[in-house]
Structure 1
Amino acid sequence: MASIDIQNVRKTYGNYPVLHGVDLEIQDGEFIVLVGPSGCGKSTLLRMIAGLEDISSGDIRIEGNRVNDVAPKNRDIAMVFQSYALYPHMSVADNMSYSLRLRKTAKEKIASAVSGAASKLGLEPFLERRPKALSGGQRQRVAMGRAIVRQPKAFLFDEPLSNLDARLREQMRAEIKKMHADLKATSIYVTHDQIEAMTLADRIVAMNGGVVQQVGTPLELYDTPANLFVAGFIGSPGMNFLTGTYVAKDGTHGVRLADDMVMKLAKPVKLEEGTSVTLGIRPEHVTIVETGGIEANVDLIEPTGFGIIIHLSLHGLPFKVFTLDRAALSAGPKVRVDFPSQHLHVFDKDGVRAISLGA
């Protein structure tokens, strides 16, 4: 396996910039997830690591060796695509062993590699079948097996679960996590699904508009998002936001909202009195109260089985509450909500950066 260093990497198509100087150090054996909306540059970055896209400027190093001009086949990297890209006329075993046969690997080594990968992925009963006789999840496992038998320096996954239904995605997430734990392989995984990112990653790289917004463990991005984009993208449902001004009088530190109500903060922040800010709180941290708090209109109630999502209108803005209390199913046209101070986040007016409480 190998470390991968990405140093000030940029990508432009003509005069159109796609990546704006990406710096990232990936440790040997680490599972990194690149996450962000469509068009943020995550798949382009993955393809540049694989050698399928040229680098406009900057360097990519694998095991310390600069690979900008190294052909994809010589980078010793295995890629698993969104489409399974299996040969329909070949059996599962032949699909998995194809790259080894091209290298004229000894038959005994091929058989051992295929058997080992099939065992890890539960494909042993299907080795003689052709892809058309397999389910979508089984085909994706074959594509993963084809990568595993090569024993590459790193695995690259480009939205491999996008074509599967929800239940299969859940199953395959577990398969990929088990595979990583077993192989301890350096892996880079691209997805727009933040649930996949949270459940799979050692570290998440949140991207937007070709710029890395934040790098950290899943819980670091959830608990301490660096800016408004990360706060809204990580978490399901996403974080709620309200605008207000910072208040610091008579020992009280808080944010004054549009209705003149002040939401107290757990700690002061280094801001001038009256500074415009954005206040954030996750739906699961909002509490429904009988008295006090803020009154909001109920627009929609969504039962999910595990919990209930209540869609509200608050100060003319959409606002969500996630609760496990099934009494919320009978909520009237209005409810009162409160924001526990320990769960509040403060961002600058434009949402470019989070403002640390207690700074």
Structure 2
Amino acid sequence: MAAIDITAARKSYGSVDVLHGVDLAIGDGEFVVLVGPSGCGKSTLLRMIAGLEEISSGEIAIGGRRVNDLPPKDRDIAMVFQSYALYPHMTVAQNMSYSLKLRRTPKERITAAITAAAGKLGLDELTERRPKALSGGQRQRVAMGRAIVRSPKAFLFDEPLSNLDARLREQMRVEIKRLHKDLGATSIYVTHDQIEAMTLADRIVAMNGGVVQQVGSPLDLYDRPANLFVAGFIGSPAMNMIPAVYRFADGAAVAEVEGGHRLPLAGPFPVPDGTTVVIGVRPEHVTVAAPGAGGRRADVSLVEPTGFGSILHLAPFGPPIKAFTLDRGLGRDGAAVDVTFDPARLHVFAAADGRRMDPAP
């Protein structure tokens, strides 16, 4: 396995810039997930690492070796695609061994590699079947097995679970994470699904518009999003965004929202009184209780039961927000609840550029 270093990588198609200078260092054995909406450049970056797209400028190194001009076959990487790309006329074993045969690998080594990969992926009893006799999850495991037998320096996954139903995606996430733990392989995984990113990654690279917005552990991005994009993209249900004005008076920092209602903040911020801000609060951090508990009264306009809890749609002060609660007794349309906010759970962003603001030291 090997580290992957990306320095000032850019990609343009004519006058259209797709990637705007990406800098990223991926450690040996690390599992990094590139996440973002469609068109953000994550798949283009993955294909540049693989050698399937030319680099307009910058540098990519795998294991300390510059690979800008190397063809894909010489980069010693393996890709798993959204489409399984299996040969329909070949058995599972033949699909998994095909690349090794092209390299004239000895038969005994091929057999050993297939046996080991099939054992890791639960394909032992399926090696003589053809793809048409396999389920979607089994086909994806074969595609991963085909990559594993090569023992590459790095694995690249391009939205490999997109064609699977929700239950299979959940199962395959577990299998991919367990496989990474067993192999210790350097892996880069592309997805638009933030749940996949949160559950799989050692580090997440959040991208938007061809620009890296934030790099960090899943909980870093969840607990301390760098800007409004990351705050809104990471987390389900999405973070509530409330327009406000920052006020500091009598030694107290507050966010003044619609109707003049004031939300206490965790501390003074290094901006002038009257600065326009956006307050972010995750639905699970909005505290709701039966009327009389204290707080801001709000009517429940809609309830979304999830089984584990309920998502309540509220409007305590103008803009509608969502609250997540485990109390099923509160989940009734038209019912009133009292809403409170923990100042330590409120995120403050500059309205002008969307960047995160932290209290002054």
Alignment TM class, shorter chain as reference = over 0.9
Amino acid at match of 1:306: F
For 2:302, the equivalent position in structure 1 comes to 300
Matched, 1:114 2:118: no
For 2:126, the equivalent position in structure 1 comes to 126
User: Does the 8 A contact of 1:278 with 1:351 survive in 2?
Assistant: no
User: Does the 8 A contact of 1:276 with 1:348 survive in 2?
Assistant: yes
Residues 1-359 of structure 1 mapped to structure 2, 5 A cutoff: 1-289=1-289, 290-291=291-292, 292-359=294-361
CA distance in 2, matches of 1:38, 1:297: 36
Deviates more, 1:294-303 or 1:95-104: 294-303
Secondary structure of the corresponding residue to residue 83 of structure 1: coil
The Cα offsets for residues 171-210 of structure 1, whole Å up to 9 and x where unpaired, read as 0000000100000000000000000000000000000111
User: Does the 8 A contact of 1:229 with 1:351 survive in 2?
Assistant: no
CA drift at 1:333: 4.6
User: Does the 8 A contact of 1:46 with 1:156 survive in 2?
Assistant: yes
CA drift at 1:297: 4.1
CA drift at 1:69: 0.5
User: Does the 8 A contact of 1:34 with 1:191 survive in 2?
Assistant: yes
CA drift at 1:345: 0.4
User: Does the 8 A contact of 1:9 with 1:19 survive in 2?
Assistant: yes
- TM-score, normalised relative to structure 1: 0.97
CA distance in 2, matches of 1:13, 1:203: 29
Number of aligned residues: 359
Amino acid at match of 2:263: M
Q: Which ranges of structure 2 fall in alignment gaps of 5 or more residues? A: none
Amino acid at match of 2:341: F
CA distance in 2, matches of 1:295, 1:194: 33
Aligned residues: CA RMSD: 1.2
CA distance in 1, matches of 2:337, 2:308: 21
CA distance in 2, matches of 1:350, 1:3: 38
User: Does the 8 A contact of 2:300 with 2:332 survive in 1?
Assistant: no
Deviates more, 1:74-83 or 1:335-344: 335-344
User: Does the 8 A contact of 1:307 with 1:322 survive in 2?
Assistant: yes
CA drift at 1:335: 3.2
CA distance in 1, matches of 2:297, 2:144: 51
User: Does the 8 A contact of 1:154 with 1:185 survive in 2?
Assistant: yes
User: Does the 8 A contact of 2:309 with 2:327 survive in 1?
Assistant: yes
Deviates more, 1:349-358 or 1:299-308: 349-358
Secondary structure of the corresponding residue to residue 253 of structure 2: strand
CA distance in 2, matches of 1:206, 1:173: 19
User: Does the 8 A contact of 2:316 with 2:339 survive in 1?
Assistant: no
The Cα offsets for residues 46-88 of structure 1, whole Å up to 9 and x where unpaired, read as 0000000011111101111111110001000000000000000
User: Does the 8 A contact of 2:2 with 2:27 survive in 1?
Assistant: yes
